[in-house]
Structures are given as structure tokens and as C-alpha cells.
Amino acid sequence: MYKGLDIVSAKPTKVEMDNVKHHLIDIVEPDIEFSAGDFVEYAKKAIFEIKNKDKNVIVCGGTWFYIKNLLGNKALLDCPSNWELRNELSKHESRVLWEKLNLLDEDRAKKIHPNNKDKIIRALEMCEMLKKPVSKCQRADNTEFQSAWFMCSFEREELYERINKRVDLMFEAGLYEEWQQNKQKYPNSKVLENTIGYKEFYDLEKGIYCNFNEAKEKIKQHTRNFAKRQLTYFRSNKDIKLIKNSDDILKEIE
């Protein structure tokens, strides 16, 4: 979705996008926070446009938290962003904010690390906007779309090897140079600072890592850790069917 984050996000190539119409590519600058709620709003609009042309819709990712909120069993709570409140809350230390959240919504606070300032602020914002603890709110059933879920099936060793090779290719394609350009263009972007493949360069700059190769190995490690967390979610979703190739998908659809 973010403009300029081409290599780090493995954005589709021009050839791929010429062959199949893609949506939600390069729709927002990376100095703007784009939430799951924003994604759902944009994605629904794209889906209806595609269906009105009598075309098939493929949702591909990527960020499974976003896809889950678009196609999962439960809809997101209707709670728009309040940037004035967010800016005011951001002036305080994360621990102070967490203590405040703990008073307002103890159950929600238990699920957020006291150092995760962005999630704490969002939880406080929702408590304020909804006028009740977030944990006490019931999410409505999401029945808008019917979907079939598929995931490529790899052994963990093969998956990790693919990740390591992918990071090597990203470096060959100019990942570090892309980060330098975006850091200069968007000096205060939290998106850049929190993106695996970029945040390690910030840590290298701060002296947390000894050299360039160590930062590269950390990108591989953090990506593998992220994949491991995704696999944990996949196993919890009984709707996801494991497939080896596109032929398996066609058989399931038929």
C-alpha cells in the first residue's frame, strides 16, 4: 500500500501487474499510518468494483491481520481514528499510558506489552470513543463476503531457506539504498521505523549492530520470527486449506 516501499515489501513487478489487475498498490505515503480499518474500507470498495465487472476477486497477502478483519467471522468495531487525541496521548511515556489503560480496561491492558506505545494509544482512543472498555464490546458477525482460504504448504526448513534467500535478493536489488532514500524523504515515519528490513538499518545506525552483515542476518532472523507467528495463526484458522500449487486451488474451487 505504501509508496516507495517497493523492495522491502516485495511489491509485485510491473510485468505481474500488467498481466493481472492489482488494487491498493501505492495508495498512501509512508508518513501516514494506515490502519486495519482503513484497509477494510479501501478493500471493500475495490472488491465491489471488481464484482460489478463480473470478475473474480483474489485477496493476497501479506498482512494477515488485515485480511482477517476483511474476511474473518467478526467485523471490526466501528471506531474511527481521533488524531487530536492520539497526538495528545503520544506526549506521555508508554508506561504512564499503560497504567491509564489498566484502570480503564484491565483485560485489554493485559494483552498489550507496556512498551507497545502505539497499541496502548489505540486502545485508549477506542475506550474514549466507545465510552466503555474495548474488551466489553461485542464485534458483529461479518457475513458480507464468502471466501475460500488457501496457504502454500512448506516444511519449516524450506520456508526458512526461502526467507533467507529472499533477503539476499532484496539486498542485491538495493534494499539499503531504498531505505536511505525513504529515510531522507520521510524522516519521522513510524512506518519505516517499524518495518522489518528497515528497522534493522536504524539499529545499525544507532550502533546496536556491529556491522552491515549483522544487520542483514537480523533481518533474516526477524523475518523468520514473523513467519513463525503467522504459522501459529494459520494453524488456529480451520478455514485455511494447505495447497502446493495453483492446481490445488482450482480443484478446491471446482
Q: Which domains, and CATH codes, for the chain?
A: 83-136 (1.10.20.140)
- The H or E element spanning position 204 is helix 199-206
**Cell numbers at residue 164, please?**
533467507
**Cα angle, residue 14 at apex, residues 248 and 193 outer, rounded to 5°:** 90
Cα(200)–Cα(101) distance, integer angstroms = 30
pLDDT at position 115 is 86
Check if the beta carbon of residue 75 is closer than 8 Å to that of residue 141: yes
Cα(166)–Cα(121) distance, integer angstroms = 34
Question: Which amino acid is residue 208, in one-letter code?
Answer: I
- Residue 158 has a CB neighbour count (10 Å cut-off) of 10
Q: Which residues of 13-49 are buried (b: 16+ CB within 10 A; e: fewer)?
A: eeeeeeeeeeebeeeeebeebbeebbbbebbeebbee
Beta strands 240-243 and 149-152 are: parallel
3-state helix, strand, coil in the chain (%, to 5): 55, 5, 40
Q: pLDDT tens track of the chain, all 254 residues?
A: 999 999 999 998 888 888 888 999 999 999 887 888 888 989 999 999 999 999 989 998 767 788 888 988 777 777 777 778 888 888 899 899 999 999 999 999 998 988 888 889 989 988 988 888 988 887 777 778 888 889 888 888 999 999 999 999 999 999 999 999 999 999 989 899 989 999 999 999 999 999 999 999 999 999 999 988 888 878 888 888 888 888 888 888 88
